[in-house]
Structure 1
Amino acid sequence: MTTVVLASHNAHKLEELRRILGPLIPGVELVGYDGPEPVENGLSFEQNAFIKARAAAARTGLPAIADDSGIAVDVLGGSPGIFSARWGGPARDDRANVELLLWQLTDVADDHRDAGFVCAAALALPGDSRDGDICELGVWPGRVLRQPTGEHGFGYDPIFQPDGESRSAAELTGAEKDAQSHRTRAFTALAPAIRALAE
């Protein structure tokens, strides 16, 4: 059994990725990470995902995966983007983030509220060579609603309506979200590279 570290202290994310990746990476065990979190000073989702994955791989000596994600609103030029988690201030408060984004879009017409959840999923191998490092991008397109709705999910889920849905992401079940989310899309694309580690 090959062990791969998820470079995150978030137990919910570990559980989610085990659900998503489990059937796709037989022979690979996904474990949590308890090392220090690096400073995420990249200028893109991909750069920040690599920063986290490479730090965990260097510390543990094991292959590591990480992701960086957020919401990108077209009319705001792709913002909040990599600043999604702290859009409303340094407290990283979901409610403050949502309230600020809704305020910024107050006068934006419904047909100009296109947005997408973006996830960069990175795999980093231990050692100095970065030849085996890879990153895949997943985008879940939709639009920003005018007010929060739904009790599930977290972050911007209550104000994000995925394309083809009449409900917000916060109204979807966990299984429904897993089937189409940006994180699922990114890690499904990365799965062959993770699976190859066990071959």
Structure 2
Amino acid sequence: MSRLLVASRNAKKLAELRRVLDAAGVTGLELLSLSDVPEFDEAPETAATFEGNALAKARDAYAAIGIPAVADDSGLEVDALNGMPGVLSARWSGVHGQDAQNTALLLAQLRDVPDERRGGAFVSACALVSAAGEHVVRGEWTGTIAREPRGDGGFGYDPVFVPLGSDRSAAELTPAEKDAASHRGRALALLVPALRALARPHFT
């Protein structure tokens, strides 16, 4: 059994990766989170791109713990806000991880924006760093921003994001529906070949 460190303390991200691996038939990987390993100094997310932040997190985790590490950086890019909140999505209201406050601020900023200009996309960059090298992939999920939150599933901006072609918010989708379409699901799916190679026993 090979070990893979998911450089996050978000149990939902760990579960999402496990579902993606199970759907792809990838076995032989034991997933660990940052809560399962000794603490180390994590560099602040200061890159200008999702890819830069994801790669920095995966590199830090791999260097500190010594086992292959995967990390993601994701957020919401809103057309009417020139692509913001973008890499600042998790701390849009000033404090990291305050989902309700971040969403409330976003909706306030879009209050006078007409429906036809409320487009946006969730973006996820995932990075895998191991002895075999570095892989960075990107997934996008387009849709529109609703005028009020709907649903209690998911996390972050899910309750106000309505995927293209759907009449339900991301927070109203089942986990399987979200995995099949979401930005992180798409990015993780692109990592499956590298993760499958990681899970495969190596004989010398």
The two structures share one fold, judged by TM-score above 0.5: yes
Q: Match of 2:114?
A: 109
Deviation at 1:12, TM superposition (A): 2.5
Q: Match of 1:151?
A: 152
Cα 1:154–1:55 change in 2 (3 A) is: same
Deviation at 1:28, TM superposition (A): 2.5
Q: Match of 1:69?
A: 74
- Distance, in Å, in 2 between the alignment partners of 1:174 and 1:28 is 21
- Distance, in Å, in 2 between the alignment partners of 1:11 and 1:103 is 29
Secondary structure in structure 2 of the residue aligned to 1:133: strand
Match runs of 1:161-176 below 5 Å: 161-176=162-177
What amino acid is the match of 1:8? S
Number of matched pairs: 195
What amino acid is the match of 1:58? A
Contact 2:16 2:185 in 1 (8 A): no
Q: Match of 1:9?
A: 9
Q: Which moved more, 1:20-29 or 1:64-73?
A: 20-29
- Distance, in Å, in 2 between the alignment partners of 1:140 and 1:172 is 14
Match runs of 1:36-185 below 5 Å: 36=40, 37-90=42-95, 92-126=97-131, 132-185=133-186
* Runs of 4+ in structure 1 over 6 Å off: none
Deviation at 1:109, TM superposition (A): 1.1
- Distance, in Å, in 2 between the alignment partners of 1:198 and 1:22 is 13
- Distance, in Å, in 2 between the alignment partners of 1:80 and 1:21 is 30
Deviation at 1:145, TM superposition (A): 0.7
Q: Which moved more, 1:46-55 or 1:15-24?
A: 15-24
Deviation at 1:134, TM superposition (A): 1.1
Deviation at 1:170, TM superposition (A): 1.1
Cα 1:91–1:14 change in 2 (3 A) is: closer
What amino acid is the match of 1:121? C
Secondary structure in structure 1 of the residue aligned to 2:73: strand
What amino acid is the match of 2:183? H
What amino acid is the match of 1:163? L
What amino acid is the match of 2:11? A
Secondary structure in structure 2 of the residue aligned to 1:152: coil
Secondary structure in structure 2 of the residue aligned to 1:88: coil
Deviation at 1:3, TM superposition (A): 1.6
Q: Structure 2: any 5+ residue segments left out of the alignment?
A: none
How many percent identity over aligned positions? Answer: 52
Q: Which moved more, 1:32-41 or 1:115-124?
A: 32-41
- The RMSD of aligned alpha carbons is 1.5
Deviation at 1:159, TM superposition (A): 0.6
What amino acid is the match of 2:169? S
Deviation at 1:62, TM superposition (A): 1.0
Deviation at 1:91, TM superposition (A): 5.0
Secondary structure in structure 1 of the residue aligned to 2:88: helix
Deviation at 1:151, TM superposition (A): 1.7
